[in-house]
Structure 1
Amino acid sequence: MRPNTDRLMAFIPSRIAIFTFLLVFLGHGASAQNAPVKVVPPELSELSGLFISKGNLIFAHNDSGDTSRFFAIDAKGKLISTLYFKGDPSIKRLGVTDCEDIAGGPGPVKDKSYIYLGDIGDNGGKRPYVTVYRFAEPSKLSGNMQIQNDAVHLKYPNGPQDAETLMIDPISKELIIVSKRQDTVGIYSAPLFFKNKDTITMKKQGSLYLPGRGLLKYVVSGDISRDGRQILLKTYTGVYYWQRNGKESISEALRRKPTNLPYTLESQGEAIGFTPDGKAYYCISEGKNAVIYRYNIPKLP
């Protein structure tokens, strides 16, 4: 999600200078293991979150300004399906405010896979609640389709927060949201097995400090592997990785020092997700002609 107009005008010169410097001189010395390919669908020019399903099928969505829909594309960027859902009727015309991340995991029916879409962006810190939508992962896809959903409204225990990271913890059976902007961000959780239209006050599990300053350290996406044993968090300039010990909570795992993983710096990369087997991860940026990057999880000592 972009800053408000006044803040944006102040940010533009320094933001461009910073990113240009980093792209040219730093680049993190990393390249994707697979050749990147263009994201073909022009509908995804504001891509903000991704979830990798079986067969490397990518479910992705735009952030603020789009309607209540998300997309399925293949690993080469071909648009497979546009999936429409019933959003919040109080949000006129669009049905959603600012969808910022998408994740997959268990749900109310045992052994069935679900998709969770987080309308959790709150640039001004004014929303009385944010909303997460839940969909049964479709077995068949068509060009344009309507998909059924449940929704849960979530409140923060310490007042509104801006967030772009939604994760599903299959071990504790919780929704996990990580806030975006603070020097030390918050980690919040809510039960995964909610009822449609429930309103739940989340629990603050803990806090996380990552290196960096200002915009460059904003936490813009994250994911938990399907087995719950690995965690990824992404900022604009890096990818951080943790391995989980036993049944410890996500916040307990995040207290340990992370490992920096390979990352090719993107112009505005706000999406990351594990492959189903947990052996690799994908990143995609906002912007026209953005590319799909795939990285293998390195073997750690």
Structure 2
Amino acid sequence: MRRAVLAAAVVVASVPPAAAPAGAAPSGRAVQAAEVCRIDDPAVTEVSGLAVVPGGFLVENDSNPDPRRTRLFYLDEGCRVTRSVGYPTTARDPEDLAVDRSGTVWVADIGDNSPLMGGSGNRRSTIALWTLKPGAKSPKIHRLRYPDGEPRDAEALLIDGAGRPVIVTKEPGGEVYRLDTPLPTDNTEGAPLTLVGHFQPSRTGTANPLGVFGSALITGAAVSPDGTKAVVRTYSDAYEFDVTGGDVAAAIVGGTPVVTPLPNEPQGEAIAYTADGNGFLTVSDQPGPVSIQHYPATRKASPVPAKPAPGTAAEAFPPRERPERQGRLALLVSAFSVVGLMLVAAAARYARRR
């Protein structure tokens, strides 16, 4: 998989750059990452989600043919595994983690790669969130669905001030969804999500193995501990938003972000705030040992917690009109230029998991 990602840099380098979309503008701020610690336990592989918990970190393995290896791992401050938690049934494709203010862990089992991106072609009709309450031994499942019933690939989960999950899809011009109804548990029919709007990354020029393609794909997200900031990342950059009244979805859809470059991460998919909210932690989805990296955030978090948003306010935050598509179309043209590469990546992923 890493060879395929590195090859992408060569292919994408030959693709004309997409026009920068309107909206978020890159800050041009150079930052230097610092290694926090290195995860070298062989049980932890392809880390796609990261969260800060008391005493250390929480990470998750991406999907694996052996369900026993798809687990949550608690790490100490030196990245040593202290314990792990399995799922009561198979988690299909966990992609992100969040911890809310009550200490409940949320697992975003929302990945759904198309065949082009290495998926099997058996797309899912529902996605799932898992919650692990403090002291619980096993997570509970909550099934959701997109309002039009169509499958989407997603890797970014945030929990807003009212405790509502917010999902941002991976594709360029990511769709921002929120659950505006009570969270169901152990359900079979997926609870419908609400489309709030869209978020489109900029062409920042930040170095990453997938070039323009990597700067367009949304791979993770997090909310600051005080609830006043939210960050959405791509393979190349972190977009940080101010959050008002706890409404994370509105901030992402309508806010103007500050961009922090995350250059040259091998396959950057996870992001979390530090415990004080003044920095970002990231990790790459890799099959071998991998480091947790620290970046200083552009702005310091407020010491005053944000006020929770009203309970269910779908009517107060109606979906916005779809933004202009020119920038998204240009990014998609670039994406189609690497179709052959993605098929190679799919074959490599399949071969690795046989």
TM-score (norm 1): 0.79
Aligned to 1:48: 48
Detail structure 1 runs of 4+ shifted over 6 Å in the superposition: 18-21
CA RMSD after TM alignment: 2.8
* Separation in 2, partners of 1:31, 1:246: 32
**What's the secondary structure of 1:251's corresponding residue?**
helix
**What's the secondary structure of 1:43's corresponding residue?**
coil
* Separation in 1, partners of 2:291, 2:12: 17
Contact 1:31 1:262 in 2 (8 A): no
* Separation in 1, partners of 2:80, 2:234: 27
Aligned to 1:204: 195
Deviation at 1:253, TM superposition (A): 4.4
Aligned to 1:186: 175
Confirm whether residue 150 of structure 1 aligns to residue 140 of structure 2. yes
Contact 2:85 2:138 in 1 (8 A): no
Aligned to 2:296: 296
Contact 2:201 2:215 in 1 (8 A): no
* Separation in 1, partners of 2:273, 2:183: 24
Deviation at 1:173, TM superposition (A): 2.1
Deviation at 1:79, TM superposition (A): 1.0
**What's the secondary structure of 1:97's corresponding residue?**
coil
Deviation at 1:225, TM superposition (A): 1.6
* Separation in 1, partners of 2:289, 2:246: 41
Aligned to 2:310: none
Aligned to 2:249: 250
Which of 115, 120, 130 aligns to 2:127? It is: 130
C-alpha distance after superposition, 1:183-216 (max 9, x if no partner): 3110011158523213301011111111134343
Deviation at 1:114, TM superposition (A): 0.2
Deviation at 1:62, TM superposition (A): 1.3
Q: 1:73–1:192: structure 2 CA closer, same or farther, 3 Å change rule?
A: farther
Aligned to 1:100: 95
Aligned to 1:70: 72
Deviation at 1:278, TM superposition (A): 1.6
* Separation in 1, partners of 2:182, 2:228: 20
Aligned to 1:281: 280
Bigger shift: residues 155-164 or 213-222: 213-222
In terms of fraction of residues, the more strand-rich structure is 1
Tell me, which stretches of 5 or more residues in structure 1 are unaligned?
Answer: 3-7, 22-27, 88-94, 107-111, 139-145
**What's the secondary structure of 2:8's corresponding residue?**
helix
Confirm whether residue 160 of structure 1 aligns to residue 151 of structure 2. yes
Contact 1:172 1:249 in 2 (8 A): no
* Separation in 2, partners of 1:19, 1:54: 41
Bigger shift: residues 213-222 or 240-249: 240-249
Deviation at 1:152, TM superposition (A): 0.7
Which of 92, 100, 105 aligns to 1:115? It is: 105
Contact 1:229 1:243 in 2 (8 A): yes
C-alpha distance after superposition, 1:72-113 (max 9, x if no partner): 1123211111111212xxxxxxx121110111114xxxxx42
C-alpha distance after superposition, 1:147-167 (max 9, x if no partner): 222211110013211000111
Aligned to 1:58: 57
Bigger shift: residues 37-46 or 249-258: 249-258
**What's the secondary structure of 1:15's corresponding residue?**
helix
Higher CA-based Rg: 2
Tell me, which stretches of 5 or more residues in structure 2 are unaligned?
Answer: 15-28, 115-120, 204-211, 301-354
TM-score (norm 2): 0.68
* Separation in 2, partners of 1:85, 1:167: 21
Q: Partner letter of residue 175 of structure 2? A: G
Asked which structure has the greater RCO (Cα within 8 Å, sep 6+), the reply is 2
Contact 1:187 1:251 in 2 (8 A): no
Aligned to 2:167: 177
Query: Identity, % of aligned pairs?
Result: 23
